[in-house]
Amino acid sequence: MLIVPIVLVVLVLLIPIAMYNRLVRLRNQCRESWSGIDTELKRRYDLIPNLVEVVKGYATHEHDTLLAVTQARARAVASTGSPGSQAADENAFVGEVRHLLALSEKYPDLKANDQYLRLTSELVNTEDRIQAARRFYNANVRDYNTRIEVFPSSLIAGAFGFKPEEFFEVEDSGIRAAPIVRV
């Protein structure tokens, strides 16, 4: 008869400890996956100046576009705030990079340049890696935020000050628009 109350007391103590440990693991997964995004963004930041230099050789009179890309890159590199504030800087940067890549339409020789092709291929690869890292991070944030909001773990989360994490969302209306195919 004494075993039942002891088991109940042990369960009452172990369940909150298990919930707390689960919340800590989820929070750490969010932090780790954010560092994956940060790594891929840095890779992109290192790649862009090389691409700009190649384009400069072909598009010397496109000074404003090249300047806008380098300024947007500088702002994005310097951005160290929350995922939301970094996403805003990324939006501006991605827009300028797309404008830079659109310049290749004006310069057919540029599109055939091996260095340009290699750099744009690396940029596309990097963008894919950023998207994968972003999806992984956002999935971890979703799991963590859900865990701190559902009962009974919300009681533990509130008692120990666990706060929701921000999603990393890059808004670009062009992504949602249907592509235009010209024949």
pLDDT given at position 68: 84
**How large is the average pLDDT for residues 11-35?**
94
**How large is the average pLDDT for residues 4-20?**
90
| pLDDT surpassing 80 at residue 153 | yes
pLDDT given at position 179: 46
pLDDT given at position 112: 65
- Whole-model pTM: value is 0.73
Q: What is the DSSP annotation of 69-130?
A: HHHHHHHHHH--S-HHHHHHHHHHHHHHHHHHHHGGGT-HHHHH-HHHHHHHHHHHHHHHHH
Among 86, 79, 93, which Cα is nearest to 126's?
93
Token pair, residue 87, equals: 């996403």
pLDDT tier at 111, thresholds 50, 70, 90: low
Token pair, residue 141, equals: 């944030």
pLDDT given at position 61: 62
pLDDT tier at 183, thresholds 50, 70, 90: very low
**Helix axis angle, 83-102 to 114-149, nearest 10°:** 160
Q: 21-165 is classed in which CATH architecture?
A: Up-down Bundle (1.20)
Q: Where are the domains of the chain?
A: 21-165
pLDDT given at position 27: 96
Task: Please give the Cα distance from 95 to 101 (Å, whole number).
Answer: 10
Q: What is the tens place of the pLDDT at every residue in 34-74?
A: 999 988 988 888 888 888 888 777 766 677 777 888 888 88
**Helix axis angle, 63-78 to 3-58, nearest 10°:** 160
Task: Please give the Cα distance from 37 to 128 (Å, whole number).
Answer: 11
19-33, 51-65, 82-96: segment of lowest average pLDDT: 51-65
Three-state SS at 14: helix
